[in-house]
Each structure stands twice: as C-alpha cells, then as structure tokens.
Amino acid sequence: MIYIIFLYSARRHISLTATVYSTLKSLIMNSNNLNTPLSQSIMAGLFMGIVATIVSLVYNIIFREKSGFQLCSIINVSTIIFSVPFVLLLAGFLYSWMRTHKMKDVFFIVLFILFTIGCIYLDFHIQRSDDPAVNLQFRILLMGIIVITGISSFFIPYLSTHETDII
C-alpha cells in the first residue's frame, strides 16, 4: 500500500515538475531564439570585460615601466583579471534589468558616468603609503583602470541591442 502511494506521489511530482518547466520555458523564451535580452546583455558585459582587461593590463605595464612604480600588492595582474570582467558582467546584468523595466539607455550611461566619477572621487582619498610620490602613482594607476572600465561600460547598450557578429 505504501509503495502504491509513493508511486502515485512520485508520478504527480514528475508531472508537476514538467508543468512548471514548460510554463517557465514559455515565459522566458517565447521562441526558439536563444538571444534573449538577458543573454545579450551578459555577453556584451563579458566581451567588454575581456577587452577592458586587456587594455587595463597594457596600461598597467606601460604605466609601471614609465613611472617605475613597483608597489603591487593591491593592483596586480590577478586583481585586474578578476575584478574588471566581474564589474562589467554586473553592468551587463544591470543593463538587462533596466531593459526589462523599460528604462532608456541614456539612464544606464548616466548611471555609469556617475559611478565612474564616484570611484575616481574615492580614489583621491586612498592613502596607500606614507610616501606622497607612491600615493600619487598608485592613485594615477587606479584612476586609469577605473576610467578604462567606465568607458568600456558605455559600449554594453550598443553591443546588446544591435546585431553584431561579436556577440
């Protein structure tokens, strides 16, 4: 008797799971097209994260060679590789959310201009060392990476709404 009840409840659970799955699939994907606004925004954020990472690494190398700045416990290759794409991936998620809530692209760009300016403002208040020259070099290096990331975020709306072969 218990075995029959278990089979009935398992069959009911499988049927319920299939119903929920088909309902969610019809809500999320109205067609067989896999280019949903969410996936396009995420891919645009990831692509710009890769581009901004490469540009930031080149900037890091050039800045360190020209200035002789060697203090590298915070800004190094691994922090650039992990932080820049993560920030732009979050920007892709934010842009997707703003698109689903019918907000304009200009609002996203203004938001990231303010975010970039806010990060630059906070950059000027960092005390990395007792030496003023090292502090200045650290601030310039960090500000360059912030500006590169901020400029890269402006391309997310274009890449996620226009047909490109990149994404």
Residue numbers of the chain with a pLDDT score lower than 70: 1-34, 164-167
| pTM beyond 0.85, yes or no | no
**What confidence tens digit (pLDDT) does each residue in 25-62 have?**
555 555 556 678 888 899 999 999 999 999 999 999 99
Cβ neighbourhood burial of 14 (10 Å; 0-12, 13-18, 19+): exposed
pLDDT of amino acid 109: 92
Cβ proximity of 106 and 161 under 8 Å: no
How is 37-94 classified by DSSP, letter by letter? Answer: HHHHHHHHHHHHHHHHHHHHHHHHHHHHHHH-----SSSSHHHHHHHHHHHHHHHHHH
pLDDT of amino acid 74: 82
pLDDT of amino acid 8: 47
